[in-house]
Chain A
């Protein structure tokens, strides 16, 4: 018997070619250009090459880099919130 699925998990993603416009809309592009945007976990400087994504916690936008450790930290926090 096949179980019916209950809705879908929507994975929001940004594609490389739209990254600039995405960051502009969030008001973070200038910070990235000036080398002021940092990863919320490892504190490395975020550039176009190593930007991994962004999430919101307590109303604050928290960008993170592409390092596995930082991505795992985001997922862990998401579970903790639940």
Chain B
């Protein structure tokens, strides 16, 4: 590439030299015009560069996050579409706005992060579980959308997340009070790493199945999904739940449509003594009654969960759904614990 450019420079260079030092002094009447066009070109180049910077930032980062969300969700297409920024109007072309199409303004916002957040929210409105949302309560869908935006912004510089929370998330909660109930629970689920590890993949697993079976949405399905939020919330909030009720949160969710099992792998001594047999037997038993089973380990139990998943993978009745989801679990502020989650289904 460099060699090729050098070669081009050797060919064009003498022409530019001849033009500037020979032709232009001989034809001064054209000099003024050329200068005029060059000056007009400067703001165009600056605006083009700025547009490209905004476009590149939005495209590169959101694309990366789409891949990360989908792969964290065991390959379920939580965000099935990519993103493309199209600037309008194009030269001399007529502006045509389709029905329900939105054209947003990007550029000199009070805070440049707003360009990014605006584009992200518009993208999520067009991509996040678009077809599957018919089975979801509208408020739950809205709350999920805000939480996926929050989890996508967590890896960006802090100001993006803060702008999102203060300028978008809080006003949204005030304006649409109905999403408040869900968002509080989803926040705990997300903080504990279960949002993309357990909650979203389950929704995608069932809703995609229902779409392919052409099942019409029903109030029962919607209610089961709403109750499933509580089920995951209680697992995420395990300590508090145990304090309040004096028992462990339920780890099997078995309703008419949704049948999910969860195993929180722990008790190293038991696993070692019986070569993981109690965990494996429980997993197989749960998988008989559930359509999807999650094997989870947190902190020092990550290693145990890895071994249980590896052994279960070899079982002829179990099928692992893609790879592991490695998440970070924050029980307290400034305290981060690693976690791992695997998803299994019955071998068909």
Q: Which residues of A come within 8 Å of B, CB atoms?
A: 1-3, 5-19, 21-22, 25-26, 51-59, 61, 66, 68-69, 71-72, 74-76, 78-79, 81-82
Contact = CB atoms under 8 A, between A and B. Distances in A.
How many residues of B sit at the interface, in one of the four size bands?
35 or more
B125 A3 contact: no
B123 A68 contact: no
Contact of B95 (A22, A69, A75): A22
Residue of A54, A55, A75 most packed against chain B (CB within 10 A): A75
A75 B89 contact: no
Interface stretch (B29-37, B77-85, B242-250, B259-267): B77-85
B278 interface: no
Main secondary structure of the interface of A (DSSP, over half): mixed
A14 B81 contact: no
B277 interface: no
A33 to B, nearest CB: 17
Interface of B: 43, 47, 50-51, 54, 58, 66-67, 70-71, 75-77, 80-89, 94-95, 97-109, 118-119, 121-123, 125-127, 130, 133, 138, 141-142, 167-168, 171-172, 175-176, 322-323
A53 B104 contact: yes
Contacts of A66: 105, 109
A3 B71 contact: yes
Contacts of B103: 12-14, 22, 53-55
